[in-house]
Amino acid sequence: MTNNSEINRYYSRPLDVHRWSDHPEAKKIVHTIWSEYYSDSYPESGQGNKASSSRRKQFKVLLLDLYVAWLEDPQLSIGVGMSKSAYKAKSRYNALYISYLIVEMVRHGHHQGLIDLKKGSEDSKTTTRIRATAKLQEYFKHANLDLLDFTRHSGQETIILKIKDEGDDKAHPIAYMDSDFADIPQMRQEMNQYNALLHMTFIDIPTLKEPLICKESSADEPVSITHDKKFVRRIFYRGNWKLGGRFHGGWWQNIGEDWRKQIYINNESTIEQDYSGLHVNLLYGLQGLQPLKDPYSLDLDYGLSAVEQRTVVKGLVLISINASSAKSAFNAFRLDQPRGSKAKHFTNDFLDRLLTAFKKKHPRIESSLCSDKGVELMNIDGRITAKVINHFTAKNIPVLTIHDSYITQNKYTGELKEVMNKATLEELNGYKINIDQDGIGLDQIQAFRNLDRTNANDFSYDLIPSYEHTEEYKKRMNRHKQWLKEVHKA
């Protein structure tokens, strides 16, 4: 076993209890490790039942997830809850019925020299971290699998209901019945279709040698943009089907705008479009008022440039819509600012003057600020996003969502704008919200030229975003094409 101190507790991800693969090489390595290290200690007494999982199946999940973590980065560790309360075999969020038995298998693997382990602490609320040892890594190398050879179990739940208990830092999933909310079966079917499309889609950034984006701060974990990081779920908040319902997941939600501009879908450049001031404009639309084109611009002389002032006001207002008080909004605003920035040190008094000026410009929505209105609005933008996604999924066209913005291949940019407008018209009874777009799409250029305008040549195809392709990106793309052929043959 390697030295436990080599495991970086803060460079980890949770155990994926839905890890799976039916690839022949995956079956082979599972059989090999099981036979050599586990079978004598864990004789199979049966194959399990509806509410349990066989010992070998649970071992397979553990081994394959260690393999995937090693493929992502040999230094990456996996967080594993070591208490019985961490596993609810009958939960809808545990399709493979993983139980506390997997903890025993972790310990056994550690004793066998297969798994590095750094113990967690209940006092510090940290889970145990595990990682494949050099011994186990040798088996992985000989198996010759890559991330495309792994999948998620088909029964993994995509509709999540969460709640935060008093004293908890994070919300956790809670049980529900499909009969609790009439839309659940339809939403799940739509999510399964969307995830199936994403699974078959090549989504990458061509300028990257390695499919990894490092954050500006060394304290922030890098973002893996691999095939394994495309699974999306709808999450509802506070145990209420009328709160939240946004789409979460997909590595594109965890990177900045500059990186998102470089995303390619099936080796085609993309354009991102977003609703301008979505939540502010939703508040207007819900009152039967036409939303404003730019709600965040204020004519103030507070020592900030117009651009700086708009950025600060936008951030403050969006946080205020989600906050329950002005004080909590101001604290959250400062916490959200980059280290060393001027806005990081704005006083409550200064932020209150900005917020007061915004309220004077928008008296019709003043009561919705600092009143915890955000989760209700997220339910509406979740429905809008569902309309956008479902439209394109039905046409087998992948679209990526970042809550109130959407990314498509540049040849669908005009169609996306039409669908976004249609979705808000339906949700707001005929009112539109302005859409911001950085760049121009192929279909938009063609449509303009078809009008035979005298300045049509100003819209050149050279305006289509384009980025250089690294050799490593080309290899990833070719491997994905090969994998698609293998899938279609199977």
Question: What's the pTM value of the predicted model, to 2 decimals?
Answer: 0.91
Please return the burial class of 217, using the count of CB atoms within 10 Å of its CB with bins 0-12, 13-18 and 19+: exposed
Q: Say whether 115 sits in a helix, a strand or coil.
A: strand
Higher pLDDT, 434 or 31: 31
Does residue 45 register a pLDDT over 90? no
Does residue 338 register a pLDDT over 80? yes
Does residue 418 register a pLDDT over 70? yes
Q: Say whether 34 sits in a helix, a strand or coil.
A: helix
Does residue 448 register a pLDDT over 80? no
Residue with tokens 């980890």: 12
**Per residue in 152-200, pLDDT tens?**
988 999 999 999 987 777 899 999 999 999 999 999 999 999 999 999 9
- Any alpha helices (H) in 35-183, and if so which ranges? 55-72, 101-111, 134-143
Closest CA to 79 of 4, 3, 9: 9
| Residue-range domain boundaries for the chain | 1-156, 296-361
CA dist., res. 299 & res. 57, Å (int): 64
Least confident of 11-20, 123-132, 276-285, 363-372: 123-132
Per the prediction, the chain carries an average pLDDT of 90
CA dist., res. 327 & res. 352, Å (int): 9
Mean pLDDT of 85-114: 93
**Per residue in 107-160, pLDDT tens?**
999 999 999 999 987 666 789 999 999 999 999 999 989 999 999 988 999 999
Give the HSE-up count for residue 394: Cα atoms under 13 Å, Cβ half-sphere: 7
Q: Assign 3-class secondary structure to 246-267.
A: EEEECHHHHCCHHHHCCCEECC
Least confident of 296-305, 391-400, 456-465: 456-465
Length of the chain: 490
- The residues that bridge with 126 in the sheet, in sequence order, are 121
**Per residue in 354-381, pLDDT tens?**
999 999 999 999 999 999 999 999 999 9
At residue 53, the pLDDT reads 65
Mean pLDDT of 293-302: 82
Does residue 335 register a pLDDT over 50? yes
At residue 2, the pLDDT reads 45
At residue 455, the pLDDT reads 56
